[in-house]
A and B are shown apart, each in its own frame.
Chain A
Amino acid sequence: MLSDPVTPTQITRGQRLWLYALVTLIALFLVVPCLLVIPMSFSGGTYLEFPPKSLSLRWYQAFLGSPEWRQATLTSLKSAGLTTVIATVLGTAAAWGIHQRSTVFSQGLRGLFMLPMLVPLILVAIGLFFLFSRLGLNGTLTGLVLAHTMLAIPFVVIAVGNGLSSYDMSQHMVAQSLGANGLVAFFTVTLPQIRISVLSGAVFAFITSFDEVVVGLFIASGSNETLARRMFSNIRDQVDPTVAAISSLLVGMVVIGMAVFMILQPKAKR
């Protein structure tokens, strides 16, 4: 590690050692809590401990064996799946419309689509709780998907917008000159070339919905309780090691996702 070059014009050898030591500590601070839940989840005791005194899969069995946890997981997957599809379609269409015009109006639209990212979640949550109680959408999957779609749209608009800003619009124009109408040109020429951006927008949308706690806390009650909401209540009210098992599964998913991304990345660049 020490052989890696840090521009010698900025830093002396002694300072470099300090820098490496400091950064190692910060990196550990970032990573260790995420990974620590994995060994803990295999604990055989009824109480969380580290290192675990005995190993077992009992907390995974507790998770999979509980109808409530299974139901919550299913709700979260359904909500995240629907949100991903809807937000990606709406966000991509919006980004494409905005990109083709550079008027004050389209700048305003872009601003509007950033709003869900800027308003504090707790406000969104109580606002929606209020609105949905009048529309009868509290505790429904429809309400949940609607709320999560709204929260996810900015990420799709940003990701697709970034993709489009490095996309050569003459590609779209030449397709039109060759006889494709706007829609056909978009699907045969533009979309294949911005697919990485659309895909990353979709991933963001999925995570936004799946990990969302605060809004779900207010509007996802009853049989449509989300996994995140159930985890939150569980952590707040009783520290149940089942959460460790779920957390490990979630961290495992992130690690797998990152590994897949790492493997695909060089291909995408070429």
Chain B
Amino acid sequence: MQGEVAIREISKSYGTYQALDHVSLDIAPGEFVTLLGPSGSGKTTLLNVLAGFIRPDSGSIRVDGQEFLTLPPHRRNLGMVFQNYALFPHMSVARNVAYPLTLRRVPKAEIARRVATALETVKMGHLADRPIQALSGGQRQRVALARAIVFEPAILLMDEPLSALDKNLREHMQIELKRLHDKLGTTTVYVTHDQREALTMSDRIAVLNHGQIVQCDTPSRLYDHPVNRFVAEFIGESSFLPVEVSGGATRLFGRPLALRERWSGHGTPLLLVRPEKLAWREPEGGGNRVDATATEVIYQGDSYFLNLELPGKSQIALRYNPHAAGGLVPEPGQTISFWLAPANTILIEDAA
């Protein structure tokens, strides 16, 4: 199988601004890897380095053993889908999709066949003769995808391809893209700033910040065991509570914390609180109990928004599902308790 990518020590700076700082990443053949990060984190820069549109200052990119950095973009054989789709407005749908095949001097009959197949794959076969201007956003998205896969590239690059679509269509397309990836098995590098999109589609997610990969893991590892506060905040809803460490023992608001593994990280850890991991009754086998006072209770349909005041004046805000708490809805000012099972008691480093 083709499409093995080895990125080594890629650096790129613009003057004093370090866009990419010694980034290394291995991508297995057929893997779906998402580059996730806030704007300015370097994720799009990295994608453009892969595509050959940005020349890094140093580093190496090998694809199936071949050094890529010295290859011009047109000889890298990568399919790319741009954020704005970049469909050619002066060509019809079919001619857009045929473009990469025409460049490769594929015989006419085969072009027609492969264009039809590619358009069928993205369910656009019936619109082959339309001009681009006549397509909706979602349809353009599909055509751009067909054009990027029609020449069977070893690697598919996508730069926030769904960000211009409305929410429903976006969610629908996420599932479709995932299915397409399962079907084609093309190595895919996907850039997004939307964590849910990343969690839905990826085999692995590389979280970037300030030009570095902070953590690269499977979605569940990333969600359950973020390496630091930045990753925890970026993925999922989370609140943080201060934890005291003294002589190898960890305490929360004076009470010793029951942990699955001993804290072995650097500095003062934080307790990661994910709303859905909270138990509103003491779990079997016990857990770490936290007492809190509800200061605000706001009805939001399927859930309540709770603002809780904890000992030591710390506050956390969370979405609270009364169903999980046996129908209990606290009054403002009421004291309530919640528990964290040791498996859900996650300590992380306080690096933003």
Contact = CB atoms under 8 A, between A and B. Distances in A.
Interface of A: 168, 170-171, 173-182, 184-185, 188-189, 192-193
A177 B78 contact: yes
Contacts of A182: 72, 74
Interface string B124-161: 00000000000000000000000110010000010000
A174 B53 CA distance: 10
A181 B72 contact: yes
B103 A173 contact: no
B88 A179 contact: no
B104 interface: yes
B103 A171 contact: no
12 contacts: A173-B51, A173-B73, A173-B82, A174-B82, A175-B88, A176-B52, A177-B51, A177-B74, A177-B79, A178-B147, A180-B74, A182-B72
B99 A178 contact: yes
B81 to A, nearest CB: 9
B86 interface: yes
B77 interface: yes
A153 to B, nearest CB: 27
A168 B83 CA distance: 12
A184 B104 CA distance: 12
Contacts of B99: 175, 178, 180, 188
Residue of B51, B53, B72 with most chain A CB atoms under a 10 A cut-off: B53
Contact of B73 (A170, A171, A177): A177
A174 B84 CA distance: 11
Given A179-B77, A185-B74, 16 more contacts: A173-B80, A173-B82, A174-B80, A175-B88, A176-B52, A177-B78, A177-B79, A177-B80, A178-B80, A178-B100, A178-B103, A180-B99, A180-B103, A182-B74, A192-B90, A193-B89
B114 interface: no
B29 to A, nearest CB: 20
Interface in B50-85: 51-53, 72-80, 82-84
Contact of B74 (A170, A179, A193): A179
Nearest to B100: A178
B92 to A, nearest CB: 13
A179 B100 contact: yes
Contacts of B79: 177-178
A113 to B, nearest CB: 26
Contact of A176 (B74, B89, B104): B74
A171 B88 contact: yes
Given A178-B147, A179-B104, A184-B103, A170 B72 contact: no
B76 A177 contact: yes
Contacts of A170: 82-84, 86
B82 A189 contact: no
A189 B100 CA distance: 12
Interface string B97-118: 0011001100000000000000
Contacts of B52: 176-177
9 smallest beta-carbon distances between A and B, as pairs = A178-B100, A174-B86, A177-B80, A176-B73, A179-B103, A170-B86, A192-B90, A176-B74, A170-B82
Contacts of A171: 86, 88
B167 to A, nearest CB: 24
Contacts of A184: 74, 103
A168 B74 contact: no
Nearest to B157: A177
A130 B52 CA distance: 50
Nearest to A178: B100
Contacts of A176: 52-53, 72-74
A68 B159 CA distance: 65
A179 B151 contact: yes
B140 to A, nearest CB: 13
A184 B84 CA distance: 22
Contact of B86 (A168, A179, A180, A181): A168
Interface in B10-62: 51-53
Residue of B75, B103, B151 with most chain A CB atoms under a 10 A cut-off: B103
Contact of A168 (B77, B84, B90, B103): B84
B115 to A, nearest CB: 13
Contacts of A192: 90
A189 B132 CA distance: 14
Contacts of B84: 168, 170
A252 to B, nearest CB: 33
A2 B179 CA distance: 63
A175 to B, nearest CB: 7
A179 B105 CA distance: 11
A124 to B, nearest CB: 39
Nearest to B102: A188
Contacts of B88: 171, 175, 189, 193
B25 to A, nearest CB: 20
Contacts of B147: 178
Contacts of B157: 177
A182 B84 CA distance: 21
